[in-house]
Chains A and B, each alone.
Chain A
Amino acid sequence: MNSNGHIHDNGSGFEPILLILFTLVIVIYIAAVVISSRRYKKWPLYRTFFWILGTICAASAISGPIANRAHMDFTAHMVGHLLLGMIAPILLVLAAPITLALRTLDVPSARRLSQVLKSRPLRILSNPITASVLNIGGLWLLYTTGLFGVMHQDALLHALVHFHVFIVGYLFTASMIYMDPTPHRFSFMFRSIVFTISLAGHDILSKYIFAHPPSGVTKEQAENGGMLMYYAGDAIDVTLICILCYQWFKATHPKGTLAL
């Protein structure tokens, strides 16, 4: 009871800052849409919708009722994990924020941004293999070592783990489906193979959690959380597979000169 109260205090301390941050993220995006739509073609409305929805998903995972329950309830933790690490990243990637930024910024700034995108660190990070290892490997580290238990004692570590889950979730999604300009592209075949292997890694981990509860989680909770991770993860992964295959399908249109 005591330790729960302690964590809750820390959580509510962060909450106003997070709320301002998320509102700001949405406001900046909408402002960019308005500014750039004056100069160029109208920015599609569904992208703005995806951006707002994605931000809300991420926000609801780290503050509010789900986040509060996640400290005691492993299933709620897993709901938060799915929202933060999988659903929010897909929605935000579909909102094509980098394209919007390049459209909105003045030419020198846009050039600088594309320089950053082309840089070596980003080339390494956006490689599907690196992104998968950071994403799935990070989850293995979290749930199979003592990290999960330690995380709930330390507010800073807790925030850091959540930040990691979100950032690598975005990185992973962006490395698999190219919605934004991507300087270092990989073939559909290569991305499909890496994607399948990391999907398997996610499946195996969720079954592993089912059989071996993480530190401080009861057997029953681990079974429920593992099953949720398995089936809900599947639903989201299938969405991602459909988008990837659809892009592939479009790219290999017979009227083109070369397919695949």
Chain B
Amino acid sequence: MDFKPRNQKDQSISELRYTYSARNLWSGFLFGIGLVAFIDEAIFHQLLHWHHFYDKSTSNIGLVSDGLFHALSWFATVGSLFMFADLRRRKGLWLKRWIGGVLLGAGSFQLYDGIIQHKLMRLHQIRYNVAILPYDLIWNIAATIMILIGITLVIQTRRSLLKTKEDARNEQ
């Protein structure tokens, strides 16, 4: 991630976007993870009390995975927003690609939580003492939709990225 000082005026927006395309994607992806982790904790743990951070007092691996994930999600949220500010500062922000990254990150985390943590490791469920299937379906389908939209946005921006690159080559 080194910065090469260049004459900024000579760089068109598309060139800047090209330079920072990966950083746009990563910043969005990390923010997406942090966002879903935050929503999960704030709404389901603290406001609704549907489940708590520790529902199964035997699974030590679950405890460790949860702790690491929590720490990562905090760092991801704050770090990604500073990356966002950095992209704006460099005039390299590409909102469409960034949002694609957010949806991809949010969807991936939600699907990981829904499949691995809820079903495979059985760490906690979304809710207790109710028929769980509708909740699981909504949770995982919503995750899948986010991933699909995210992939679409990333592919679209990647296409225009390649086009910019080609144009630049033809001009030379």
Contact = CB atoms under 8 A, between A and B. Distances in A.
B167 to A, nearest CB: 25
Contacts of A196: 68, 71-72, 75
A204 interface: yes
Interface stretch (A14-22, A114-122, A245-253): A245-253
Nearest to A259: B3
A260 B1 contact: yes
A136 to B, nearest CB: 11
Nearest to B85: A249
A234 to B, nearest CB: 7
Interface in B68-124: 68, 70-72, 74-75, 78-79, 82, 85-86, 89-90
Contacts of B70: 199-200, 203, 234
B109 to A, nearest CB: 16
Contact of A208 (B1, B3, B5, B63): B63
A201 interface: yes
B35 to A, nearest CB: 15
Contacts of A204: 63-64, 66-68
Given A203-B70, A245-B78, A210 B3 contact: no
A231 B85 CA distance: 27
B38 to A, nearest CB: 11
A254 interface: yes
B171 interface: no
A25 B5 CA distance: 47
A256 B3 contact: yes
Contacts, number: 76
Contact of A195 (B2, B3, B75): B75
A23 to B, nearest CB: 37
A249 B66 contact: no
Contacts of A199: 70-71, 74-75
A192 B57 contact: no
A245 B63 contact: no
A197 to B, nearest CB: 7
Contact of A192 (B3, B53, B75): B75
A242 B80 CA distance: 11
Contacts of A200: 64, 67-68, 70-72
A258 interface: yes
Contacts of A249: 82, 85-86
Contacts of A258: 2-3
B36 to A, nearest CB: 16
A210 B79 contact: no
Contacts of B57: 211
B54 interface: yes
A118 B71 CA distance: 32
B34 to A, nearest CB: 11
Contact of B86 (A241, A242, A252): A252
Interface of A: 192, 195-197, 199-201, 203-204, 207-208, 210-211, 230, 234, 237-238, 241-242, 245-246, 248-249, 252-260
21 contacts: A195-B75, A196-B68, A196-B71, A196-B72, A197-B68, A200-B64, A200-B71, A203-B66, A203-B71, A204-B63, A204-B67, A207-B66, A211-B57, A230-B53, A234-B70, A241-B74, A241-B75, A242-B78, A245-B82, A249-B86, A252-B1
Given A197-B71, A249-B86, 5 more contacts: A199-B70, A203-B70, A207-B66, A246-B82, A254-B5
Lowest 3 CB-CB distances: which A-B pairs, in order?
A204-B67, A199-B71, A203-B67
